[in-house]
């Protein structure tokens, strides 16, 4: 999905999943869906339908709430940021004082050498970061989803949002529940890699401009003044200096044919005893070295980052597997969602069976088909084939327990781990713990409720990184539970979009 379409889709999702507002209601939702279907047609892809619907909705919403347009403009990338950074780097390089006050160059410590060392350090950091990212991309344990659609922004993200995009601090707080605040946090997370690629391209270009400006200033001042080159050191002798210069300037010497002085020549350049020499050859050698070590690599890195940013902007990945987008897809295609519920040593009551169906219909739509498998008996986790067999693509698999049961690692946790391992790689699995029977016996005010929840979390975490979700399926009103569970499913989908297998958290 293109960057603009993805941004619009997340904005509308924030308004349609948050509590109702005066700017967007159920009639507006139906209008957006109907208009998008009419424009795109029945055979349009889900992505095309979602994109068109979001664009139409944003257009109507912006006309009612000017703040929407302002926030959309604020989170949009500003190309002039890169131009300004490059010009600033070039100017800083031109003003760099490359020569000493007495018109002598110490060939061991010119500012150009500092630029070389700084860039080499930057390359090492980039390499370490790339290696760390590669390790993270490898298959491995993934933490289970915790309640909440979006995790809090980290300090670098908040700083970037404030400095680069100028987003108000109030919209970056994790406890701000307005649709615009939710959208800003979601968009900063979804576009983090895109923004990172753009900023890297800008930084690489600015570093190349700084080095190029330093070279330009060096040659400009060299035309108007004669500078003498020499060296001095408290700790280095002539032999060590010769080896150091061979390492730093040797490649430039080989390419240009400019010969580095031997030990005797270096001794004559030593000050205060030596007389020094015209600095032209040292300027040329350092210029070629800077081109090789800084300008050319930085330009290549900038091109790579720009191409990556362009590719990500054209195909920004959103969690289209989450309940909200799946509902839109099914609304367009007319398909029903299929949810598979696998109870473990627990027989649902008629009220609980009705509750699980109502809950899933509130999340996935009224046409949702909920299939409840026969309860898996205690110790039956090794034979799950019949329990998870389905002739339809399953949107969600639910491992269902009763809070009244005492959880055990070798049974309940082993069941979830076995279920996760038996499902396809792209399957979505959550654990639900029904509190209905426990609340009937002990009540909600009982201190046992918190203790029993903590026990379930600890037992499941002993075998698989998955966070159990607690709710009373026999409750009359499940709307709040549906909103909380939708947030959990959004988080699971976000992990899947980032190529992290949610069910890969099974521990040995």
Q: Which CATH number goes with the domain that contains 423? A: 3.40.50.2300
First-residue to last-residue Cα distance in the chain? 38
Q: Assess whether pLDDT exceeds 90 at residue 495.
A: no
Please tell me the total count of domains within the chain. Answer: 3
Distance (Å, rounded) from C-alpha 16 to C-alpha 26?
9
Average pLDDT, integer, range 65-70: 88
Both 391 and 424 in one domain: the answer is yes
pLDDT in the model for residue 287: 92
Transcribe 51-95 into DSSP letters. Answer: HHHHHHHHHHHHHH-HHHHHHHHHTS--THHHHHHHHHHHHHHHT
pLDDT in the model for residue 293: 95
pLDDT in the model for residue 41: 86
pLDDT in the model for residue 45: 86
Domain stop point among 48, 74, 100:
74
Range with the poorest average pLDDT among 84-93, 181-190, 301-310? 181-190
Position 149 in a domain: no
Position 234 in a domain: yes
pLDDT in the model for residue 119: 93
Range with the poorest average pLDDT among 135-144, 267-276, 395-404, 460-469? 135-144
Both 357 and 468 in one domain: the answer is yes
pLDDT in the model for residue 388: 73
Position 147 in a domain: no
Q: Assess whether pLDDT exceeds 90 at residue 479.
A: no
Transcribe 450-471 into DSSP letters. Answer: HHHHHHHHHHHHTTB----EEE
**484 is in which domain, residue-wise?**
326-505
Both 378 and 498 in one domain: the answer is yes
Contact 469, 382 (CB under 8 A): no
Position 176 in a domain: no
pLDDT in the model for residue 438: 92
Structure tokens at 120: 């080499």
Both 365 and 482 in one domain: the answer is yes
Both 85 and 70 in one domain: the answer is no
Torsion of CA 61, 63, 64, 68, to 10 degrees: 60
Both 283 and 406 in one domain: the answer is no
User: In the structure, what pLDDT confidence band is assigned to residue 221 with cuts at 50, 70 and 90?
Assistant: confident
Domain stop point among 262, 294, 314:
314
Q: Assess whether pLDDT exceeds 60 at residue 406.
A: yes
Position 333 in a domain: yes
pLDDT top residue among 150 and 500 = 150
Both 230 and 310 in one domain: the answer is yes
- Mapping DSSP onto H, E and C, the string for 99-112 reads CCCCCEEECCCCHH
Q: What is the pTM of this model?
A: 0.70
Distance (Å, rounded) from C-alpha 430 to C-alpha 452?
19
Both 365 and 407 in one domain: the answer is yes
Task: Give percent above pLDDT 90 in the chain.
Answer: 40
Position 462 in a domain: yes
pLDDT in the model for residue 321: 61
pLDDT in the model for residue 157: 60
Both 216 and 302 in one domain: the answer is yes
To the nearest whole number, what is the mean pLDDT of the chain? Answer: 83
Residue 20 CB partners (closer than 8 Å, separation 6+): none
Range with the poorest average pLDDT among 245-249, 295-299, 393-397? 393-397
φ, ψ of residue 138 in degrees (nearest 5):
-70, 150
- Residue 78 φ/ψ region, left for φ over 0, alpha for ψ in the -120 to 50 degree band, beta for the rest: beta
Position 182 in a domain: no
Average pLDDT, integer, range 348-375: 90
Position 175 in a domain: no
pLDDT in the model for residue 386: 64
Both 361 and 280 in one domain: the answer is no
Both 130 and 89 in one domain: the answer is yes
Domain stop point among 52, 74, 96:
74
Both 306 and 373 in one domain: the answer is no
pLDDT in the model for residue 153: 57
């Amino acid at each position: 999905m293109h960057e603009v379409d993805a941004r619009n889709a997340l904005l509308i999702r924030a308004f349609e999943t948050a509590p109702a507002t005066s700017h967007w209601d159920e009639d507006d939702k139906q209008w957006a869906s109907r208009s998008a279907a009419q424009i795109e047609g029945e055979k349009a892809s889900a992505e095309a339908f979602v994109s068109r619907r979001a664009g139409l909705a944003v257009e109507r919403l912006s006309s009612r709430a000017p703040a929407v347009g302002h926030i959309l403009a604020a989170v949009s990338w500003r190309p002039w940021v890169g131009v300004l950074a490059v010009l600033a780097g070039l100017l800083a390089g031109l003003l760099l004082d490359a020569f000493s006050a007495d018109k002598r160059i110490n060939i061991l410590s010119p500012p150009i050498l500092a630029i070389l060392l700084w860039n080499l350090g930057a390359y090492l950091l980039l390499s370490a970061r790339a290696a760390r990212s590669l390790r993270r991309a490898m298959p491995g344990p993934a933490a289970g989803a915790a309640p909440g659609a979006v995790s809090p922004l980290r300090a670098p993200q908040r700083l970037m949002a404030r400095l680069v995009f100028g987003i108000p601090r109030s919209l970056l707080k994790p406890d701000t529940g307005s649709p615009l605040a939710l959208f800003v946090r979601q968009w900063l997370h979804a576009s983090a890699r895109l923004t990172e690629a753009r900023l890297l391209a800008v930084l690489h270009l600015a570093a190349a401009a700084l080095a190029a400006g330093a070279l330009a200033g060096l040659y400009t001042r060299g035309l108007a003044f004669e500078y003498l080159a020499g060296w001095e050191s408290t700790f280095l002798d002539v032999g060590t200096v010769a080896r150091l210069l061979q390492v730093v300037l040797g490649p430039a010497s080989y390419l240009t044919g400019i010969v580095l002085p031997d030990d005797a020549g270096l001794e004559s350049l030593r000050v205060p005893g030596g007389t020094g020499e015209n600095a032209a050859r040292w300027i040329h050698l350092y210029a070629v070295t800077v081109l090789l070590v800084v300008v050319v690599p930085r330009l290549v890195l900038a091109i790579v980052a720009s191409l990556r940013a362009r590719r990500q902007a054209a195909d920004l990945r959103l969690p289209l597997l989450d309940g909200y987008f799946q509902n839109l897809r099914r609304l367009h295609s007319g398909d029903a969602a299929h949810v598979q519920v696998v109870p473990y040593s627990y027989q649902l009551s008629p009220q609980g069976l009705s509750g699980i169906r109502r809950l899933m219909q509130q999340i996935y739509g009224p046409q949702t088909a909920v299939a409840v498998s026969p309860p898996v008996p205690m110790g039956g986790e090794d034979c799950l084939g019949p329990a998870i067999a389905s002739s339809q693509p399953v949107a969600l698999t639910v491992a269902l327990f009763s809070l009244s049961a005492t959880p055990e690692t070798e049974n309940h946790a082993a069941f979830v781990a076995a279920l996760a391992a038996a499902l396809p790689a792209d399957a979505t699995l959550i654990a639900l713990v029904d509190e209905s029977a426990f609340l009937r016996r002990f009540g909600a005010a009982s201190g046992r409720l918190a203790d029993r929840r903590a026990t379930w979390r600890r037992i499941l975490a002993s075998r698989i990184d998955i966070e159990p979700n607690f709710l009373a399926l026999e409750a009359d009103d499940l709307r709040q539970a549906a909103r909380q569970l939708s947030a959990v499913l959004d988080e699971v989908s976000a992990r899947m979009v980032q190529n992290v297998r949610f069910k890969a958290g099974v521990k040995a």
